[in-house]
Structure 1
């Protein structure tokens, strides 16, 4: 597939806001990777990419420029775009192309908005000797892991709630072009889920609970001991608790799939990638938000359906799903071919 992007709408200095596939294809060594490439001739293109995020276009006051380009673009070519970061922005209704995003509440979004994975580096190749670590001994009692930030009710909870209320008010009154978010303290939400699991005798908890994001580490995060602990925690567990953070998505979800483990996915009206292709409930323990008090029972029920052979088969299946569908090139090959 060949992509065209309008250079008038591109800003190389705002690198975090560049469309993720475009950023990779611009690197010379990747230019012809996976049958995906860039052309400077619109007539040779199979697809048009808006090169920067909608967040960028709002912040730089270029929405009208984007819409003018979109109106003049060939109707036979799909136009793809994306929303960056934890908090979504309001995409103009006139835009009928595809909007990829990690965040947002699925039930509130237009049909042209699609989930996109968090593209994580392969943790097995980075931190472990081989993929042999995917297979493990499985006990009758499910081992549930979690390594990350969670906080009991306190000042931090109140601050998070206040910020969400303020952000939602500014959105509702038109002062900011951002999505209205669910009112919750996400670190307190995690704490409640983890304490619910701890109170159960149906599972074995393997939790490392921190009171700060990444234990406060800001430099060399990828090589810090806390990151190694994070992936060791996943490796040693059967299931990993995955729920939203500041944005309505979980990076841990994709890290768990990459490690060949089973996410316990607490669904807060999330938008998952390739929902029309992947039957996600075959790969994870699905817990709807209004059934979160039953999380331990749902894990135990899921675990009873498996023995060591079938569990290890599912570990390998989840790893394969990440390799084949949730990495950068594989994801865009699948989702854009479908369109």
Structure 2
């Protein structure tokens, strides 16, 4: 039902009656009503909201069992304003209680998904015989591991902010929906061939250099997005994802065996994955939302650009002034331990085979007393 009530004419000398005309094909049927009457016309009503403006679209009106296409008021010289019946208020379309329920359902599902994603990293290597708290204590009491985790957290914040708000920014630039999907497609397609040579690149450049490149590449991406006027300009910056995602993660994962104490490689790998993909992404999204509220989307991207630039410079100073020697000593220690383990694994094989090679000829010769047997034993 569409109910017009409390109608008022917006002119100095208003007419005494309200005239409403319903059009059916080429026929125009008009009927006059008293201004104080409530005019009720059956039909379909769609409610819509545009920002703070609420409205209703009325169509397929029915009057005296006929369906009409249009409703007009011929008194064009005197505009009329009516109130719509209360049941059509747009507040029913945007029930805050429904938003709260939706948010908490999404939050629970998203946290569960993040938990299982992060725990999957611990399935790659050997497990420790100690408790989880003992393992974590042994890890976080080492300075080089703490700095590595802080670095992965900062990189995760940058990644989480872009993942959460880049599409929002592109929509503000009136990007079509298919362009949003293309941004992910381009990043993945470029990253596939890079993964085949990622190990070689990491060995040639070194892991610290990859991390430094990642920070400065994030800086370039953030400032590029901030000053982007055309949404199609996003693709050159998406190509740079090979440095901030694929190569960075290969360098991070292969860094874990270097830093992890013996027996804690699984815990170390899982902790790094959680720090980057869960904690870092969450902090980046939360901080990004606050910055967007204060500075707007372009300002938030510029702020994150400054954060990544500062982080990159600090990591350069820390690495070359403090970490480089400690990490070199750690890698040398790991190489020595591996060499010792290899020798210990090979020692029992020598003890079993060498005596047999010496004793077997004499034993065989004495027992068989044949030249052929002696000859065979000698060849052994």
TM-score interval, normalised by the smaller of the two chains: under 0.3
Structure with bigger gyration radius: 2
TM-score normalised by structure 1 residue count = 0.22
Report which of the two has the higher share of helix: 2
